[in-house]
Structure 1
């Protein structure tokens, strides 16, 4: 039976109070409170910080004893959200209590509460009047008032190219009560036609359905459109024609698998969602300060040692993982399985290895990548110290050559993302080896050192017949002053830039001649809270982002017309600091990713929110049958 209760709340002064109530008859000595947070602690009353790694803290209570029927209250002043307020994601996560002998104390933690409650947004009722029920919006339709009967949503085909897709989509279609393998079903034919990549046409007549396309993507998206149509019309389809093609070649979604480990099945579930809305690029964030999740034969201990967390593990209990050992990594076989699964959904998988910064977990396993003669300690925006590998060391280049060679062979897609974001300004300052390199190369700044690093990485990747991608600091100075540095932009223009800091950064990147994917935090970061309600989840450093705000964004308005040809596409992001339980994924992504898919397919020329909203609600009903929950809109 539990006799200790922990009650966290944000008081009226926006300070985090943690009340420890001992209702037992026992006395506890020198208690240590261990927890993680999404915002850094600035000040503590009632305890001392005796250990901090990133945003994992160990707090030794000032009171040496917690006596029977006594209460101790800690008061924490946290980093203030740049935008918005504290919410359910901002309290202590993965909390555990140890006594003087390092023995765990049983306790019960109550839900985070707020003295000042900010209520949920009120969303207007949604009309059931739908003019175009498909997301993303079809480019051109010509429907009559007559219908083709499809009894019990049964279809059949003899075309092998269509059968390949139907077989793969069968588990999804079963959940939607659609059968593409009924002997007496309505016939679907395929006819090859010279069209662009992913473009397709559909003809629906009383003689059946004909799909026209030039490639797998076109056939796949035509079938996805039929699934959306039959889910709406049910047992019939309007006679007519559809012509459809995407505006952007890159229609992406990013998932952070370092801060939290997402299983293969969880990733496949997201990929199915992407396929249902015609998204075609999965950005797989595999490494960061918190873990290296990719198993590599060239460094077999790297993932095994850095991918698990726990109190007495090499990596501490970051972001809610708690006392016990937890985590995981992806084997070569699992990577190949995910790549093959994604290809069936017309999705390519781009791996990201986030370097040279964001490498705290890596340097715990491979300290030889850091210059230990350095006389300066750096700290990044996430409160990790000395998290940047050193490009002046031969060991660094041996490492980079080895991992790039293996990753290039493992991943079939022709692009490898190498990170290059949020390098602390002081990360290389105290390194004698860096000073020597700068003298030899006549570099005047550490930004030039980063250019040198990037140029060498790009050349290594080129030799493997691959292309390099990176965050915008690889080509620009940081847009936000958060203690980070970037490059001077003197790198190969073949580098694909992901512009994340602000919508205007895409224009600057393209202006410098870099092909760019637009992914600004203010519009596409799905780990942001929807609004300022205290009952929401998500953080608020970039914005609060409602589904309607994503749909109303017109990406190309942020870019001069002269540079539109350099915008490859747009992408959503889900960073995982707040995903302390798998079920939190659904409402952070859904319906925002469906909204983003409309932008990616249609760009700025699309229906307004009032017309889109009923269609979005209908699509949420489809996704509910596939097991997805959604946030109100």
Structure 2
């Protein structure tokens, strides 16, 4: 494959073109998502004002494709091309179908000196060829454009390429949804999972149940921050009429995108219960929920009126949305009300549901509700998708599973020969922070999913056989909007992570390379700029990598930029300028300092990268773990404890490592006898997520690394309701001793107290640093 320069247009002089005042800029096929095959050939096609776009006569879908291509070319080049259905042979872009392949979304794009032919296996395949041509063009309003001869043969890896948008917590108008669909089309994404209902608001008109919108779409206020207990007292409302929803469906269909609606049941239904309190186990009264989280009030599974309600709602959803799939949620349905509800218990008895070692009777009752919804939809020629909790209590016969808590749900589904769509939160939740510098970000739910982590995701677990892997039909990223009140922020959270997602979904894994992806990304960002998309610009900042060297006792710091722009840095805390040190090679840090770095480009200076590095006697010393780090939160492993870098109030950034069902037990090799009089560990508590603080800390010393003498320990109180989330430093001071090896043991809470919803289970502890002084 011949490489082309990405960041600047190429001026051609000599050969086919002569030097003149007319600027000829060149197309570049190294785009996102990267096509499966690019074969450069001889000759060039010149796109000029006389070029025509031809589509097959009588094919309305291809006419729409052609009109969209004309719009894209005008945006990129300023050229207004004719769209015709007359067959011509030169200076023409011909759109056609008939490509002989089993993949309906495949296409071939051929460029010769006379013409460009985009041939799809279907109209959708042709559309993706159009997107490739669009993204290959330079952005210019001067002169003609040269497209090198090429044959591109391309097809998507996955048939289901989705993004999810929650409009229940915050509502976005129709124009915004259409703009979101246009973003999807740019990234070759073909499924919009539209989350329309939840505890905090019902957003779709159901004509047979008008109170769902007259009451259920309105909440009286919204909680401030992360369920602070304080509310803004500002009424909030909004919903889509059925005609508006159908308009969205049409708009998406024109861009070969299927809209899959979600009506989340039987949980996440408090907005519906506010409208129809008789559908709840207690009878209410209920209100549309003003806070975030999961309400314990759910549909009463023992009430026949609930089944009629499900039928009424799903009947109208089928009329609005022609998608094969209807999403029925099925996640996060607390069973507390069902356990005490006479009607639910009667239903359990009627159905002869019995608890077993894997499922409670109430979980099986949820399976009954999901099965009921599935059978109803199957009768109308539709299929259901549900979140992975629909596996609990037994999976509905034809259901497709969305695996969001990890990969385990997807694996279980395919083992039972059910299709699975992979959407794990640790890689594909775009409501999570995308940078460690959360102080300078809009509020988010938490988490940490930077661009590189999205790109690194491997949707097919290695444990699956080739036959089982066929049931992994797609990949999806999710955006929940509790902390996203504006559509502008939707774009900020999606872009450019959607670009990384698109390559995970489309490109075969052996062709993926993150460094190459970054080189191609500025070309796509040019289109973001043309559309005024509010994308996050972290990729243009200085990137840092910290590599502890415990043999030399130094921290190696590698700085880089996406485009190799010059980097200026300081180590004394002063703000860097163009007169500061120029970064040329790895920084070798062996003492406490404040690193600050910027890059300067013609269009301005980046934000400042700032990192505090703090040395103590344990920093950059060899560390041995005597008990394991939790695999899910291992990140960079044991050296995290001695790298001199502090974690923020976000435990998923990689600065914290976790211990679960065992102690933290670490030995620091000070490499020679060293006087110490204090030991400390820094922990993080997120009580609601079963991350509690320490119960015990001890320090022991040794001069041979074999026999240890404990010199200090302390036991801490059991966690209480009054404890707060945050970062804590636990210190043990003692008379000065000489030590070569120091053992630190930090004991977690093995029995979460009864006041906590996780009572009886072991808790996590998260630690970012061990210190010796």
Give TM-score scaled by structure 2 length: 0.60
Is 1:200 aligned to residue 97 of structure 2? Answer: no
Shift in Å at residue 538 of structure 1? 5.0
Query: Mapping of 1:325-404 within 5 angstroms?
Result: 325-372=235-282, 382-383=292-293, 385-404=295-314
**RCO higher in structure (CA 8 A, sep ≥6):** 1
Shift in Å at residue 622 of structure 1? 1.1
Distance of aligned partners of 1:372 and 1:158 in 2 relative to their CA distance in 1, 3 Å threshold: closer
Equivalent in 121, 141, 146 of residue 214 of structure 1: 121
After TM superposition, the runs of 4+ consecutive aligned structure 1 residues lying more than 6 A away are 315-321
Equivalent in 17, 36, 39 of residue 139 of structure 1: 36
Secondary structure of the corresponding residue to residue 169 of structure 2: coil
Equivalent in 422, 426, 429 of residue 522 of structure 1: 426
Distance of aligned partners of 1:158 and 1:394 in 2 relative to their CA distance in 1, 3 Å threshold: closer
Query: Mapping of 1:230-249 within 5 angstroms?
Result: 230-231=137-138, 235-249=145-159
Q: Whole-Å Cα distance in 2 between the matches of residues 455 and 182 of structure 1?
A: 53
Output the aligned Cα RMSD.
2.8
Give the match for residue 771 of structure 2: none
Equivalent in 458, 473, 480 of residue 374 of structure 2: 458
Equivalent in 331, 339, 342 of residue 429 of structure 1: 339
Give the match for residue 477 of structure 2: 572
**Residues 266-275 or 379-388, more deviating:** 379-388
Shift in Å at residue 309 of structure 1? 3.0
Shift in Å at residue 220 of structure 1? 0.8
- Post-superposition CA distance 1:137-189 (Å, at most 9, x none): 11111113632111369543254444321324555544333546248993012
Q: Whole-Å Cα distance in 2 between the matches of residues 154 and 390 of structure 1?
A: 63
- Post-superposition CA distance 1:462-513 (Å, at most 9, x none): 11111011000001xxxxxxxxxxx222431x10111111133322221232
Q: Whole-Å Cα distance in 2 between the matches of residues 606 and 380 of structure 1?
A: 47
Give the match for residue 70 of structure 1: none
Distance of aligned partners of 1:347 and 1:153 in 2 relative to their CA distance in 1, 3 Å threshold: farther
Equivalent in 64, 69, 74 of residue 164 of structure 1: 64
Secondary structure of the corresponding residue to residue 423 of structure 1: coil
- Post-superposition CA distance 1:538-558 (Å, at most 9, x none): 5355x3111111112222145
Distance of aligned partners of 1:270 and 1:221 in 2 relative to their CA distance in 1, 3 Å threshold: same
Shift in Å at residue 580 of structure 1? 1.9
- Post-superposition CA distance 1:514-554 (Å, at most 9, x none): 2100001111110000133121235355x311111111222
Is 1:605 aligned to residue 515 of structure 2? Answer: no
Q: Whole-Å Cα distance in 2 between the matches of residues 167 and 367 of structure 1?
A: 50
Give the match for residue 23 of structure 1: none
Distance of aligned partners of 1:578 and 1:154 in 2 relative to their CA distance in 1, 3 Å threshold: farther
**Residues 153-162 or 462-471, more deviating:** 153-162
Give the match for residue 27 of structure 1: none
Distance of aligned partners of 1:205 and 1:355 in 2 relative to their CA distance in 1, 3 Å threshold: same
Residues 200, 290 of structure 2: 8 Å contact kept: no
Distance of aligned partners of 1:503 and 1:490 in 2 relative to their CA distance in 1, 3 Å threshold: closer
Unaligned runs of 5+ in 1: 1-125, 476-486
Give TM-score scaled by structure 1 length: 0.72
Q: Whole-Å Cα distance in 2 between the matches of residues 616 and 294 of structure 1?
A: 37
Query: Mapping of 1:224-263 within 5 angstroms?
Result: 224-231=131-138, 235-263=145-173
- Post-superposition CA distance 1:357-381 (Å, at most 9, x none): 111111011101112279xxxx999
Unaligned runs of 5+ in 2: 10-27, 355-360, 540-773
Q: Whole-Å Cα distance in 2 between the matches of residues 323 and 539 of structure 1?
A: 21
Residues 200, 221 of structure 1: 8 Å contact kept: yes
Give the match for residue 648 of structure 2: none
- Post-superposition CA distance 1:180-206 (Å, at most 9, x none): 624899301234333330111111111
Is 1:176 aligned to residue 65 of structure 2? Answer: no
Q: Whole-Å Cα distance in 1 between the matches of residues 225 and 172 of structure 2?
A: 15
Secondary structure of the corresponding residue to residue 326 of structure 1: coil
Which structure has the greater CA radius of gyration? 2
**Residues 184-193 or 224-233, more deviating:** 184-193
Distance of aligned partners of 1:515 and 1:383 in 2 relative to their CA distance in 1, 3 Å threshold: closer
Query: Mapping of 1:519-558 within 5 angstroms?
Result: 519-533=423-437, 534-537=439-442, 539=444, 541=446, 543-557=447-461
Give the match for residue 324 of structure 2: 414
Shift in Å at residue 414 of structure 1? 1.4
Give the match for residue 601 of structure 2: none
Give the match for residue 618 of structure 1: 523
Q: Whole-Å Cα distance in 1 between the matches of residues 462 and 347 of structure 2?
A: 39
Equivalent in 408, 417, 431 of residue 504 of structure 1: 408
Residues 144, 238 of structure 1: 8 Å contact kept: yes
Shift in Å at residue 230 of structure 1? 1.8
Residues 231, 622 of structure 1: 8 Å contact kept: no
Secondary structure of the corresponding residue to residue 148 of structure 1: strand
**Residues 154-163 or 432-441, more deviating:** 154-163
Residues 472, 498 of structure 1: 8 Å contact kept: yes
